[in-house]
């Protein structure tokens, strides 16, 4: 083999390869290489064959140990090395990205060397970097547009709220003390009702547009569910039993964002069950792997398939009088907590809202009439 390795035919064959090729013996010493390998590594063939210079060349790899393990696989362990991707600092100062693959050289079923093929994939890495930078730029621009829209929405809401207070306040003042049969009482009532509905829209838009950083803390699920139920009852004017499964014990969550999301879901559940006030609203906290699963279930009529795609769209509502921002606010809060919100058919009918959240941190079944 050595005679063949020193032959002109062998070296002409190596030179014909467009990829870099380096051949080492079982001691790890280079005894043959082609011009492409010298160009890629920035070293002449004599340097590659010099053990002292070879150590310097290995040291230019971003992870020299990985390269040493690649070379040791056939030399020390007698097995073909796994392909290796590495970054290499070329002597010209530029970084190159190489893909190395190795083949065992056998004679009489014994390993006498390893053939290393070096492919330059620098341009592929540069293309990926450009695509990543473009994607990050697009994401940054989208984030800036969303933040600008949020600031604009808050500013508009503030400007609308002030005249609304004047309209509603004076309409209420003019309405007070008027007899029911006063011909202007009905008109004033309509103005006051319209002002209140518009105020509800402004309040919902402000809540939705305001971005808040989550501040997790250890909290009791029973406290979160109880507060959400109280707030939902006040808002809707409806009442139903709360069936709480808080078997997880303490959880680590942002209480304000979680209660706000639960309030919207419980309010929806109360309104869905409004004709039957004795039907409970079930709220359950359960471990789900390393995370937390919160369920809010009602026994209402359920969610029809024709409106399912639109339930999280802002201002979409099936109510005769409604804002349509409850579910979008709940979804936005859950996403700020790092989780997801989905609506599923309930096990006993109705709707099952599922919040899947990351959680840290150990209850029972509690019934509140």
Task: Tell whether 101 and 202 lie within a shared domain.
Answer: no
Mean predicted confidence (pLDDT) in 111-121: 88
Q: Are 268 and 303 in contact (CB under 8 A)?
A: no
Write out pLDDT tens, residues 259-301: 999 999 999 999 888 766 578 899 999 888 878 999 999 988 8
Task: Tell whether 289 and 231 lie within a shared domain.
Answer: yes
Domain extent at residue 360: 217-368
Give the CATH number of the domain where residue 13 resides.
Answer: 3.30.450.20
pLDDT band at 150 (very low <50, low <70, confident <90, very high): low
Give the CATH number of the domain where residue 183 resides.
Answer: 1.10.287
Whole-angstrom Cα distance, residue 334 to residue 292? 12
> Above 90 in pLDDT, residue 98?
yes
Domain stop point among 209, 231, 254: 209
349: left (phi over 0), alpha (psi -120 to 50) or beta: left
- Neighbouring CB atoms inside 10 A of 132's CB total 10
Of 281-285, 304-308, 341-345, minimum mean pLDDT range = 304-308
Domain tally, the chain: 3
| Residue 246 burial (10 A CB sphere; 0-12, 13-18, 19+) | buried
Task: Tell whether 230 and 333 lie within a shared domain.
Answer: yes
Write out pLDDT tens, residues 62-82: 999 998 888 888 777 778 888
Task: Tell whether 155 and 70 lie within a shared domain.
Answer: no
Write out pLDDT tens, residues 233-255: 998 889 999 999 987 778 888 99
Q: Whole-structure pTM over 0.85, yes or no?
A: no
pLDDT band at 162 (very low <50, low <70, confident <90, very high): confident
What pLDDT does residue 276 have? Answer: 62
Q: Are 246 and 368 in contact (CB under 8 A)?
A: no
> Above 80 in pLDDT, residue 154?
no
Task: Tell whether 241 and 360 lie within a shared domain.
Answer: yes
pLDDT band at 320 (very low <50, low <70, confident <90, very high): low
Domain stop point among 120, 137, 154: 120
Task: Tell whether 251 and 361 lie within a shared domain.
Answer: yes
Give the CATH number of the domain where residue 242 resides.
Answer: 3.30.565.10
Which of 15, 11, 55, 56 has its CA nearest to residue 31?
Answer: 11
């Amino acid at each position: 083999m050595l005679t063949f390795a020193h032959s002109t035919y062998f070296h002409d064959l190596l030179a014909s390869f467009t990829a870099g090729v380096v051949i080492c013996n079982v001691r790890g010493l280079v005894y043959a290489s082609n011009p492409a390998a010298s160009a890629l590594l920035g070293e002449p063939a004599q340097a590659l064959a010099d053990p002292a210079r070879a150590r310097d060349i290995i040291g230019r790899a971003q992870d020299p140990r990985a390269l040493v393990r690649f070379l040791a696989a056939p030399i020390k362990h007698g097995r073909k090395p796994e392909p290796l991707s590495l970054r290499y600092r070329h002597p010209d100062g530029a970084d190159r990205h190489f893909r190395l693959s190795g083949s065992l050289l056998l004679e009489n079923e014994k390993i006498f060397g390893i053939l290393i093929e070096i492919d330059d994939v620098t341009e592929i890495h540069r293309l990926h970097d450009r695509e990543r930078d473009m994607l990050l730029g697009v994401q940054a621009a989208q984030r800036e547009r969303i933040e600008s829209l949020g600031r604009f929405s808050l500013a508009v809401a503030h400007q609308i709220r002030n005249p609304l207070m004047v309209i509603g306040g004076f309409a209420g003042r003019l309405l007070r003390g008027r007899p029911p049969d006063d011909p202007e009482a009905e008109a004033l009532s309509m103005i006051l009702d319209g002002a209140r509905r518009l105020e509800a829209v402004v309040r919902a838009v402000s809540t939705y547009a305001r971005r808040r950083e989550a501040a997790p803390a250890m909290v009791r699920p029973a406290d979160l569910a109880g507060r959400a139920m109280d707030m939902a009852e006040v808002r809707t004017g409806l009442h139903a039993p709360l069936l709480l499964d808080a078997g997880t014990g303490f959880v680590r969550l942002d209480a304000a964002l979680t209660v706000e999301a639960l309030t919207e879901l419980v309010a929806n559940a109360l309104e869905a069950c409004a004709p039957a006030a004795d039907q409970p609203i079930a709220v359950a906290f359960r471990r789900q792997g390393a995370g937390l699963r919160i369920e809010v279930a009602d026994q209402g009529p359920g969610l029809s398939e024709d409106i399912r795609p639109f339930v999280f769209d802002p201002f979409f509502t099936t109510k005769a009088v409604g804002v349509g921002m409850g579910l979008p606010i709940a979804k936005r809060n859950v996403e700020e907590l790092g989780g997801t919100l989905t609506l599923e058919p309930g096990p006993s009918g109705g709707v099952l809202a599922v919040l899947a959240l990351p959680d840290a941190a150990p209850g029972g079944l509690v019934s509140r009439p």
